[in-house]
Chains A and B, each alone.
Chain A
Amino acid sequence: MSYVVQRLLTFPLILLGVSVLVFVSIRLIPGDAITAMLGTEAGMMTPDQRAALAAYFGIDQPVWSQYSRWFLGLFQGDLGVSSIYAKPVLTVILERFPLTLQLSLMAMVIALGVGVPLGVLAATRNERPSDLVVRVLAMLGQSTPSFVIGVLIIYVLSVFFGMVPAMGTFTPITVDPWASLGQLFFPAVTLGFAFAASVTRISRSSMLDVLSDDYVRTARAKGASPMSVVWRHALPNALIPVVTLSGVEFGYLLGGAVIVEQIFALPGLGRLVLDAITQRDYALVQGTVLFVAFNFLVVNLLVDLAYVALDPRIRLGSR
C-alpha cells in the first residue's frame, strides 16, 4: 500500500511545482504585463490609467503575493479573465474541453483496440511473415507524425472519394452521439495512429519477454492450451508496460490534439491554446496549460492505480 500512499503524497507536490512553473514562466515574458496584454493600446494610456489597471490585476503587488493570490484563486476555479473572449478563463476552457477529451479518448480506444491485438498476434507468430508485416507497419506508423497522416487523410478523402470531412463543426456527444462520433472519427484516427503503432510495438516485445518466462513454461507443463497460455497467463503480465505507456501517451494525445484540431479546424482546447498564444492572451495560455497539465497528472495517477490493480506484487507488497 505504501506505493499508493507515496503516489498520493507526491501528487499535490508536483501540482504545486507545475503551478509555480506556469506562473513564473508567464512573468518571464519580456516587457511589462500591461503592454503585453494590451499591445499598442497600452501606449495610449496615461500613467494613472496604467496604475489603476495594474492595481486591478494585482500586478502592483510583490511577486510572491501575486502568486499566493493567484494560487488561492485556483481552488475557487478562478483562472483569471480571458482578454480575447472577455469571459472567465475557466468558462472558456470548459466550453472547449469536451471536444478534446472525447477526441483523446477515441484516439486511445482506437490505439489500444488496434495495437494490443496486433502486438499479441505478432509475438505469437514471432519471426513468421505475419509478424514481419506487423513490425514493418508499426515502424512506419511510429515514424509518421499526426500532421502528415491528417493531411494525407484529407487528401485521400477529398481527391479519391470526393468527401470533405466535417471540418470546423462539432456536435456534443450528448446531443447526437452518432454524429458526434462520426465527426471526430477521422481526427481520432489521425491522433491515435502513431500511438497505435507504439502500443503494437510495446505489446509485442513485452509479450515476447513474458512468453519466455518460467511461469509460462509452467502453464505449458500443466497442459494449458495455447489460447489459455497467451490470454490467461501471459497477457495480464504483458499488459503492465502497456498500461504505463498509455499514461504517458495520454499526455501526448492531449498535446497532439493541438495539431489535429488545427488540421481539422476543430474548436477544442488545442486550438484555444494556439489562439491564445498568437493573440497574446496570457491569462488564457496560463489557464489552459495548467488545466491540461492537471488533467495529465490525474490520468497518470489513475494509470498508476490501474497498474497497482494489475500487479499484486505492488498491491500487496512483499512479505
Chain B
Amino acid sequence: MTPLLRVRDLHVGFGRDPKANEVVKGVSFELMAGQTLAIVGESGSGKSVTALSINRLVDFGGGQITAGSIHFQRSDGSVLDVTQADEKTLRRVRGSGIGMIFQEPMTSLNPVHTIGAQIEEAFRLNRGLTGAAGRQAALDVLDRVRIPDAKSRLAYYPHQLSGGMRQRVMIAMALASSPRLLIADEPTTALDVTVQAQIMALLAELRAETGMSMIFITHDIGLVAGIADNIMVMQQGVAVEQNQIDAVLDNPQHDYTRHLLKAVPHFSAGKAVRTDGHRVEGRAPIVSVDDLVVRFPVGRGLFRAKAAVHAVDGVSFDLQPGETLAIVGESGSGKSTTARAILGLNSHQRGAITTAAGRSRRPIQMVFQDPFASLNPRLNVEALLAEPAIANGQRKDAALHERMQFLLERVGLPADALERYPHQFSGGQRQRLCIARALMLNPDVVVLDEAVSALDVSVQARVLDLLVDLQREFNLAYLFISHDMAVVERIAHRIAVMFAGQIVEIGEARGVLADPQHSYTKRLIAAVPAVERRNQHFAVDMTQVPSLVRQAGYEPPEARWRQAGIDHQVRVEVAS
C-alpha cells in the first residue's frame, strides 16, 4: 500500500543563502492513510517548518526547500511530488487535499470578513459551492465542529468569538476541503487547558468520522499521547527518533527523547509533589490577604460606571515564610490580578493585604511572565540589577557590585554578564536575570507571575530547579501564579484554584491534585494532558466560563467552605 505522504531527506533553508541557513536538515518520514503522526520538539527544532513544507506554505514565509522530496497521494490515486509542483497545482492540493490549522486562532482569521464569508469561501474555492448551497454547507460544517447556534454565528466577526470558538472555525474551514490530511500546527498552545481538551476531543472525533490522516505539531509530548499513532521527535532540524507511540513513550532510544519524557514537568496527579518544607499550623504568615476585591468599571455611563468586571471577588489566603502557594486558574480567573494587587500595581476596592515586617523595606518582589518585556532593552545588566538598590537609597559602591556578582553567579549566569544587554541573552537566561533582580533587595516573598510559562519545556525544568534551590537557600516564600498544572505540581506546597475571580479550592498540594473536590478543579485536572493517561478519552464538553461583568452594586453571595482534609478547603457549590 502506498503511503498517503512520504517525505524523503527534506532540507529547508531561509534567507538569501538557504543552503547555509538550513532549519530542517534531512528529515524523512511516512504517513499512512487514516494515521496520525505527532511531531514533537521545542522552538527552533524545525517542526513547524517541516509541516509548512508539506503544502509549500513555507515559500511565503521566505523559506525554500533545498533538497529532498515530498510525495503526496491525491484522491485520484496519483502521487505528486510537492517539491516539484507548480503553484497552480499546489493551490489545488492546499484547497482539497491538505487542510491546515494554526497556533494563533486570534490572528489566523481575517478580521474584516464574517466567519460565514470565510467558511463559504473555502467551499466555493474547493467544491464550487456558491450562494445558498455554500451557506448551507457552512452551516453544516459549523454543526460538525460543535458550534452552538451556528446559524446566527455565521454573521459574527472573528473578534466576537472566544479563542476556542475561533479555533473551531479554523477547523471548520479546513474541513471544507474534505482534506485527506489535516496538519495541526500547535493548535491548542494559545488556549486554556479545558478548551484545549475540548479541541483535542473534537479533533479525535472528526478523525474517526472522516478517516483523514493528521500531522500534529506540538511541544507537549503528553498532549499527543492519546491521539497519535506514530511520533517523531525533532531537535535542531533533525528527527532524532521516530516510532510507534507506545514504543517511544515506554522505551525511548534517544537521549533527547528521554530528556523530554523525564526532565520536563509532566502532570502526574499529585504523585510528583514536593516533599521538602511543610506548613506549620499556627505559624505567623509573612503575607496575608483578606477578602480582596478588584473591579474594573466598564460601560461608563454619564457619571459613573453602570457595570464592572469582577476580576477578583473576595479572595483570602495567607503565605508562610519559606512555603510556595500556587494560584492556578485559566485566563480570566483573576490570578494575575490578585498578584498585581498584592504588589500595588492595580488598586483594589476592598480587602486587606497585610505584610509582616520583613528583611528589607520592600519584602515582596515580583518576576513577570515575559522575560523579553520585563527588562528594559536599552539598559545593560549592571543598570538593570542596580535599579532596585538605587530606588531604595543604596549607593552604587563595591558592596553593591559584589552583591550583583554573587546573585548572577547564584542564578547561573557568567560574571561578565554585567556589561551585556538583554537582547544578548536567551529567554531562559533573561528569566534568570529577572530572578536575580528580584532578589537584589533580599525579599521575603517573591511573586512569580507565570514566570516559566514563556520558556521552552526543557528550560522550564531547569528554572524550576533553580527556584527550589533559591527558596531553600534564602528561605523565600513564593506566590506562584500559573495555568500549568504540571509545573505547579513540581513547585507548590499548597495550591489555590481560582475560577471566575474566586478561590474555589485551597489546600495542601497533594490533596488538591490527587483528590480534587470542587467540580471546576475536577474538570481542570481531567483536562490536563498526561503521558500516563494516554488511553483515557475525553467527551466533547462545551462548558463556558461565566461572564464576570456584573451590574453596579452586585455582591456575590457569601462563600461557605467545607473541610475536605486537614489542610484542604472547598467552596460549597450552589446550584444556579
Contacts and interface: CB of A to CB of B under 8 A. Distances in A.
Direct chain A–B contact by Cβ atoms under 8 Å: yes
B75 interface: no
A233 B104 CA distance: 17
A233 B87 CA distance: 19
A318 B159 CA distance: 6
Interface in B103-128: 104, 107-113, 121-122, 125-126
Contacts of B139: none
Interface in B174-189: 174, 176-177
Contacts of B111: 215, 237, 311-313
Interface in B154-169: 157, 159-162
B173 interface: yes
Max count, chain B CB within 10 A of own CB: residue among A213, A220, A223, A232:
A223
A319 interface: yes
A316 to B, nearest CB: 6
Interface string A68-110: 0000000000000000000000000000000000000000000
Contact of A217 (B57, B93, B157): B57
Query: Which of A215, A226, A233 counts the most B-chain CB atoms under 10 A from its CB?
Result: A215
Contacts of A224: 91, 121, 125
Contacts of A212: 61
A222 B126 contact: yes
Contacts of A28: none
Interface in A201-243: 212-215, 217-226, 232-233, 236-237
Contacts of B173: 218, 222
Contacts of B194: none
Nearest to A225: B91
B95 A218 contact: no
Contacts of B439: none
Interface in B41-86: 55, 57, 60-61
Contacts of A301: none
A312 B159 contact: yes
B396 interface: no
Contacts of A318: 159-160
- A212, A222, A225, A311, most chain B CB atoms within 10 A: A222
A305 B22 CA distance: 48
Contacts of A181: none
B159 A221 contact: no
B420 interface: no
A312 B116 CA distance: 14
A306 to B, nearest CB: 13
Contacts of A310: 112
Interface in A120-152: none
A199 B449 CA distance: 44
Contacts of A232: 121
A215 B158 CA distance: 11
B431 interface: no
**Interface extent on B, as a size class?**
35 or more
Interface string B84-105: 0001000111111001101010
Given A218-B102, A223-B96, A223-B126, A316 B157 contact: yes
A222 B91 CA distance: 8
A215 B107 contact: yes
Contacts of B109: 215, 218
Interface in B125-163: 125-126, 157, 159-162
Contacts of A218: 102, 108-110, 170, 173
A223 B104 contact: no
Contacts of A220: 57, 60, 94
A226 B122 CA distance: 15
Given A221-B99, A313-B157, A215 B91 contact: no
A236 B92 CA distance: 25
B121 A222 contact: yes
Contacts of A217: 57, 60-61, 102, 108
Interface in B497-513: none
A131 B419 CA distance: 42
Nearest to B99: A221
Interface string A298-319: 0000000000001111001011
Contacts of A222: 94-95, 121-122, 125-126, 173, 176-177
A221 B157 contact: no
Contacts of B93: 223
Contact of A223 (B112, B159, B177): B177
A6 to B, nearest CB: 10
A59 to B, nearest CB: 40
B160 A221 contact: no
Interface in A28-58: none
Contacts of A313: 111, 157, 159
B57 A213 contact: no
Nearest to A233: B110
Nearest to A210: B110
Q: Which of B87, B122, B170 has the most CB of A within 10 A?
A: B122
A316 B176 CA distance: 27
A197 to B, nearest CB: 27
Contacts of B110: 215, 218-219, 233, 237
Contacts of B87: 226
Given A220-B57, A223-B125, A316-B157, A214 B96 contact: no
Given A221-B57, A222-B95, A222-B173, A214 B157 contact: no
A214 B87 CA distance: 20
- The winner among B113, B170, B173, B174 for most chain A CB atoms within 10 A is B113
B102 A214 contact: yes
Contacts of A226: 87
Given A222-B126, A319-B160, A311 B108 contact: no
A242 to B, nearest CB: 14
A103 B358 CA distance: 73
Contacts of A223: 91-96, 125-126, 177
Contact of B104 (A214, A219, A225, A237): A214
Contacts of B108: 214-215, 217-218
Contacts of B122: 222
A212 B61 CA distance: 7
Contacts of A219: 110
Nearest to A236: B112
Contact of B107 (A213, A221, A236, A312): A213
B60 A221 contact: no
Contacts of B157: 312-313, 316
Contacts of B91: 223-225
Nearest to B547: A319
Nearest to A223: B95
B468 to A, nearest CB: 38
Interface of A: 212-215, 217-226, 232-233, 236-237, 310-313, 316, 318-319
16 contacts: A214-B108, A215-B111, A217-B61, A218-B170, A220-B57, A220-B60, A221-B55, A221-B174, A222-B125, A222-B177, A223-B96, A224-B125, A233-B113, A310-B112, A316-B159, A319-B161
Given A218-B173, A236-B113, 12 more contacts: A213-B107, A214-B102, A215-B108, A217-B108, A218-B102, A218-B170, A220-B60, A223-B92, A232-B121, A311-B112, A319-B159, A319-B162
Among all A-B residue pairs, the 4 with the closest Cβ atoms: A223-B95, A214-B107, A215-B110, A312-B157
